[in-house]
Structure 1
């Protein structure tokens, strides 16, 4: 998704996007953000002790934590090397984005098993760990395509809001989907003590949920807690927040001239929200 965003941003104002190949700089910008994403996933799986990723064995499960950490570091280093070849602005942006990813993850870790976690704390965490990289993906695509500054800024805002939508939807899917649908264990956020927006909203409407949380869960308790989240309106409430960010993403594109590229980007945020299966 992230390299696709970089290329979509690069083509956003191009009327002949479908008839010519992307410039090499735009492609390499997309490569750099994808390597950052993959490196961060390797590190995430170590922290979460995850056994699967996208339906297959995770790197840490197959080769151990040491290899997974070093492989993640290697990918981040290669991403930085590529970005350095795209100019100082892109290099500085990617470095700052990697720092944002780390900061967002730390914000999340400080609230693990905290039933008093606020929506504000949650939103700050996902802003760093997810929205920052999607925003950077769009900005790097726009910069490498040498788009006008107004378009660069509009696409940067769009990417941020899209990232917020993406993470909220992902957190909802963790509650409503099966292992098979996700390609990884569902309910893992509850097990790990990461209380996301649907859970935070559910605790407001169902105070008894708090008594189930606050400590590691066995399978039966996790399923019971997940049933509470699914049944008290928290899912639709969380998706309402995601829809609000989707609207902001669409509005950010209003600063750009309409065209096939912009129109395609405009459809994505709502499509993410609309793609959530019924709880």
Structure 2
């Protein structure tokens, strides 16, 4: 895990699945260059921000950074910054803070979800234990707050409100819906808080610190929230993938941890009237509560495969596409041009990851 920073990031053209031939216009080529150059600057900045003099803190805080990642939030932040003055020093700092906040949340999420792998490597808590992983996440949140403090009061307020939503989302996921609350609506709100809020903050921060027209803020915030929901719904489908070498996750990780993903929410509803669905729910719930060895592990794997092929997973994919389409519709106030085109394509690639 000692690759150079620029080898661990995905270029904008790679992320969008487009080639230089398609990006033929000078304006679009300039956009690609600006964003890709900004990503390299941000990656180098992350290396410096997480270089603690304390050897233990240095090693643990850099663990997931060096495991890689798509850097979706910095990429989106750099894109919206092109609506203003582009990749200003303030934009780079803000992107570093947003990504470090995201990294911190991963340490905590893996502890709470009891995830064994993250980005293709053993999760931090399996290497150092729960307490050390939680403290590392706290350390990263503190560093992100220090960076935002350099950018002034508005940045501090944005960081605080976003962090509050991240915690509320995790809290509501942990506690679960009230008896009188719609389970699907509760779940979508959890996704909006846990994932959408930080993606929306990234998009908004790009507008703010590039000094773009403030009228664009509401549009990119709505876009970011809805892209975040679409992103997480696709993750619900990827959680069922039989190819952990590609996803970096053990199949059924969320279900093993008792997380009510949308396919499972749909399946439980169907189980009220469908005996086959009820039997599949029983298999998944029984096995996820057991020690997954031997026959129990084999049955759980088979149950996950059955859920992956079930109509409820296709419904989840359709829901992800709807949220992506609504995200694109939110961009209506933005001016036509390569930035808007890239944001549209960005939303489309989110739902193409497994569809």
TM-score (norm 2): 0.71
Alpha-carbon distance in 1 for matches of 2:143, 2:210: 21
Greater Cα shift, 226-235 or 154-163: 226-235
* SS in structure 2 of the partner of residue 106 of structure 1: helix
Alpha-carbon distance in 1 for matches of 2:169, 2:203: 19
Q: CA RMSD in A?
A: 2.1
* SS in structure 2 of the partner of residue 255 of structure 1: coil
Alpha-carbon distance in 2 for matches of 1:133, 1:221: 37
* SS in structure 1 of the partner of residue 332 of structure 2: helix
Alpha-carbon distance in 2 for matches of 1:254, 1:24: 28
Give the alignment of 1:209-220 within 5 angstroms.
209-214=280-285, 216-217=289-290, 218=292, 219-220=297-298
* Residue number in structure 1 paired with 2:268: 203
Give the alignment of 1:124-203 within 5 angstroms.
124-203=189-268
* Residue number in structure 1 paired with 2:99: 34
Instruction: Give the 3 Å change call, closer, same or farther, for CA 62–227 of structure 1 in structure 2.
Output: closer
Structure 1 runs of 4+ aligned residues shifted over 6 Å read none
Matched, 1:100 2:165: yes
Give the alignment of 1:44-59 within 5 angstroms.
44-59=109-124
Q: How far apart are residue 184 of structure 1 and its match?
A: 2.0
* SS in structure 1 of the partner of residue 354 of structure 2: coil
Q: Deviations over 1:36-88 (max 9, x none)?
A: 00001111122223332111122222222222122111110111111122121
Q: How far apart are residue 9 of structure 1 and its match?
A: 1.0
* SS in structure 2 of the partner of residue 207 of structure 1: helix
Count residues in correspondence: 269
TM-score (norm 1): 0.90
State the structure with bigger RCO (CA 8 A, min sep 6), 1 or 2. Answer: 1
2:143 to 58, 62, 78: 78
**1:32 and 1:83 in contact (8 A); partners too:** yes
* Residue number in structure 2 paired with 1:11: 82
Matched, 1:229 2:307: yes
Greater Cα shift, 231-240 or 255-264: 231-240
* SS in structure 2 of the partner of residue 254 of structure 1: coil
Q: How far apart are residue 117 of structure 1 and its match?
A: 7.7
Which has the greater radius of gyration? 2
| Unaligned ranges ≥5, structure 2 | 1-71, 271-276
Q: How far apart are residue 161 of structure 1 and its match?
A: 0.8
Q: How far apart are residue 214 of structure 1 and its match?
A: 4.2
Matched, 1:268 2:268: no
2:318 to 224, 240, 258: 240
* Residue number in structure 1 paired with 2:13: none
Greater Cα shift, 234-243 or 43-52: 43-52
Alpha-carbon distance in 2 for matches of 1:13, 1:209: 52
* SS in structure 2 of the partner of residue 8 of structure 1: helix
**1:117 and 1:195 in contact (8 A); partners too:** no
1:88 to 153, 164, 170: 153
* SS in structure 1 of the partner of residue 167 of structure 2: helix
Matched, 1:255 2:320: no
Alpha-carbon distance in 2 for matches of 1:167, 1:194: 13
